[in-house]
Structure 1
Amino acid sequence: MGRKAGTLRINPKKFGGLQKPCMKEMLSFLNCLALNHNNDQKCEKQKTVLSACMDAQCGNNKQAWGSINYHLQRLNRGRK
């Protein structure tokens, strides 16, 4: 089953659909672990920054608006 010809569609992955919010913090923590031979007691600062970032991300839910493709379909229906 393919898509109908002439419908509007945007690929959200092209526009930064996959965001990695705590990537910098995780990389700094992993680098610290690698430098200190997996001794996480020497990396307490990076560990707390990473856990704070991860805790901040838990509250973020998906927007109530829906996806952009849903709204494009709605606009397309109104045009007909």
Structure 2
Amino acid sequence: MGRKPGTLYVNPKKFGSLQKPCAKEMITFLSCLALNQNKDDKCSRQKSLLSTCMEAQSGKNRKSWGSVNYHLQKLNRGKK
């Protein structure tokens, strides 16, 4: 039992530590919706906080990692 030697493997625990920058704002907005029977007019403050956080994250300052499959193929080419 176990992995075959020589195969590529992605450690899922490595990607579990990625930051979730707007998680707090999203949780507060969803809990407000739950308390107010999905009436978002009563949760306008939380909605605006969430939208400003999401807009700040979508800026050009984020570095793209590329896809995992691309990097796996790149590593596999180096082994041959």
Q: For this structure pair, what is the TM-score category when the shorter chain's length is used for normalisation?
A: 0.5 to 0.7
Pick from 62, 65, 76 the counterpart of residue 64 of structure 2. Answer: 62
TM-score (norm 1): 0.56
Structure 2: runs of 5+ lacking an equivalent:
66-80
Identical-residue share of aligned pairs (%): 52
Larger RCO (CA under 8 A, 6+ residues apart): 1
RMSD of aligned residue pairs (Cα, Å)? 3.3
TM-score (norm 2): 0.56
Structure 1 runs of 4+ with >3 Å offset: 11-18
Partner residue of 1:39? Answer: 39
C-alpha spacing 1:13/1:53, structure 2 compared with 1 (3 Å) = farther
- Name whichever structure is richer in helix by fraction: 1
Residue correspondences, number? 72
Structure 1: runs of 5+ lacking an equivalent:
6-10, 64-80
